[in-house]
Amino acid sequence: MGRRGLVGTDDRRDNFNADFDRLQEFAREFAHHLHRQRLEAGAQKGRILWEDYDELLARAETKIDAERFQETGLARFVPFNLQFLLTGHRYYLDSRKFRDCGSVR
């Protein structure tokens, strides 16, 4: 397999080389770092439950008043007088897809 570039050929198959694996790991850790910073700016005791490159689902013990975080989960039904057994946590989605189309308000 070639030692230069991000893609090499091994047994007539294209594969990402080890340099790409390191770059991908760095990009994933950098995205996590940015997500963590945004979450900590809105909630001191927040926890990332799931994340992708440009979105995340988080749990917090307090309300997050940041514009980019949209509350989700059963707590969204409270304004409609629908009551559920809720935990002491709140769940938030940070996703550009939903912010851009305005579907999570």
pLDDT digits (tens, 9 = 90+) for 41-80: 988 789 999 999 889 999 998 888 778 898 888 877 878 8
Beta strand segments in 7-99, E: 7-10, 13-16, 46-51, 55-60, 70-72, 90-95
> Does the structure show a pLDDT above 50 at 4?
yes
What pLDDT does residue 33 have?
97
At residue 100, what are phi and psi to the nearest 5 degrees? -65, -35
The one-letter amino acid code at 65 reads D
